[in-house]
Structure formats: structure tokens, C-alpha cells
Amino acid sequence: MRENKFQELKISEPIFLRNLVVFPIQGNGNPENGLKINTIDKIIRTKKGVFSELEMPVVDEVVFNNGGDEPVLMLDGEEITGAMQNRIIAVSDLVAAGANQNISVVCVEEKRWDQLGGFRTGNCSYPRIRSLLAQNRDEKKLDTQKMIWNEIDRKLTVTKTKSNTSSMHEIYDNLQDEVDRYLEGFESVNHNTIGIIGCAGGRILGCDVFPNVDIYHMFEKKLIRSYALDAMEFQKKSSAMLGANRFIRALAKELEGIEPKSRVENNRINGKGIVGQVLTYKSQLLHLSAFPVA
């Protein structure tokens, strides 16, 4: 990116949430180009926006109608439940106010294809699923959908949870009390925070970064819950500060070659041992997500 703001970000002291270590990422106070955004959680709750199946439903695409006055930021891995089957957003996107747009999605409920009413919002996928989405983006020879289903089956097994439809949403439901314990007493991270790196067991789980504090806070607890679900598998406690700093430096290097040409653009990150995506608005970072290769 010509104006690579990511290089100016700094990692601050970690926050320990049980065995999940959260490294706040502090920004440099850059303006957000006047952009005010909405989330899919809020716009569906206020009934100003709606997801729906195509007239002839397909697994990998749905329609989103934004009837609100602000653009809607949807993150890679965010879940919508109901309709013919539960899905997740394939890549982060910004849907303009008043727009009706087709959205690329991936199924996270293999064994259901049956109408259950309209779509509702759900969780955010845990980092390993989002890593698979990023790693296999645009790879036509790979069956990304099958990889996601296999990963959900693996997660069901290791967490000793059950789902008749192999649903990611039911993993969250079954482990809700355990996930909630990670956020006991948690209010928010430092006021200058615009993103986080999540670590557990001495390893990096993933990273999410936004343009400013306000937008970060819209997604903070939803993302921490998703990192907690992955952290359950890695119970060893470790601060991983060295690894987090290496991860940040690797991301900065990957971003150097990205030159957005459109008003809203999503570019893939595919470096050595690191995958992700960066959504830009007016050539400025709007949402970055990055993960170790799954």
C-alpha cells in the first residue's frame, strides 16, 4: 500500500483472558475519511437490512439488502444462521447504503438444506476456519467448502460436542458457558486500541485490525469470543510477545506491495506462513485479518 499505515501500528502490553493472550494493537490516530459504518448485527436487529436466499438458492451465494443510511461492514467469517443452511461471509466487504448486493458465502452446516425462515446473525468463525478461507481463496482446484466441513467435524470431535447437522453454530451453543468465562470481568482493551492479535499455547491464532477505535469496538467482543473458541485447544499459558512482533513485521512486509485501485477493494494476503485479506476504502485500511497457515 502506498501509504502503509500498518507499519505505524504498535503492540502494547498483553491482556490475559484465561489461557488466551490478547495483544492490543494501537494506531496512530489517522482519520477514517469520514466513514461511518453499520454492522450486520445491528442492521438486522433494527430490521433495516436483510439477508435472503437467491430466487434459486445456492450454497455459496446469498443476497444482502442494505436499507439503512450507512454502509455495512461485514467481516470474513461472520455467521448468518437460518434460511436453507447456516453460512459465513467468505471475504470482508463494505455494502453501500441502499445497495442490494450478492454476497459470497461458505456453508458451516453440512447436513441441512431445509428452509428455517429468514437469516439471523450469529457468531464469528474461529480463526482456524478463517485461515482456511483466506488460504484457499481463489484456488479453483481446491474444494474449500469440503475443507471447512472437515474442520467443523474436527472441532466437534476435539471439543466433544455434538450436532446433528454438523453445525459450527451448535459448537458455540454447546460451549457458550465456557466461552463466556473468557470474558468474565472483561470490559474493553486500552482506549487507543484499533485491533488485536490473539495467542494461545505459545502460538499465534490470528489478527484483526480496523481503521479506528470506534469501528474496532463494534466487533471487539464478537472477535474475542471467536479467539476463545480456538484457545480452548491450546491450554499452555504463554505471552508469545516475540511471536506477535514477528507476525506484525511479516504482515507489514506483505502489505507493501498492495496498491488499491478501487474505492472499495479486497486484496488477498498470501505470504510465507501467513494468509489473510485486507479490505480498503479510498485506499485506506478498513479491515485487515491475518492468520498463520492452517
The number of beta carbons lying within 10 Å of the beta carbon of residue 59 is: 13
Give tens-digit pLDDT for 173-223: 999 999 999 999 998 887 789 999 999 998 999 999 999 999 999 999 999
Total of domains in the chain: 1
Percentage of the chain lying above the pLDDT 90 cut: 74
How would you class 271 by CB atoms within 10 Å of its CB: exposed for 0-12, middle for 13-18, buried for 19 or more?
middle
Looking at residues 86-109, what average pLDDT do you find?
A: 97
pTM of the full structure: 0.94
The number of beta carbons lying within 10 Å of the beta carbon of residue 104 is: 14
Mean pLDDT (the chain, rounded) = 91
Percentage of the chain lying above the pLDDT 70 cut: 92
**In which domain, by residue range, is 190 found?**
5-292
Written as one letter, the residue type at 70 is E
Strand 72-74 with 38-39, pairing: parallel
Position 256 scores a pLDDT of 86
Residue for grid cell 485486507: 278
Give the distance, in angstroms, between the CA of residue 292 and the centroid of all CA atoms in the same chain. 14
Looking at residues 89-105, what average pLDDT do you find?
A: 97
Nearest to 111 by CA among 156, 75, 78: 156
Give tens-digit pLDDT for 39-52: 999 999 999 999 99
State how far the Cα of 90 lies from the Cα of 79, in Å rounded to an integer: 10
CB 169 within 8 A of CB 122: yes
What is the distance between the terminal CA atoms of the chain, rounded to a whole angstrom?
A: 26
Looking at residues 35-41, what average pLDDT do you find?
A: 93
Q: Is the pLDDT of residue 5 over 70?
A: no
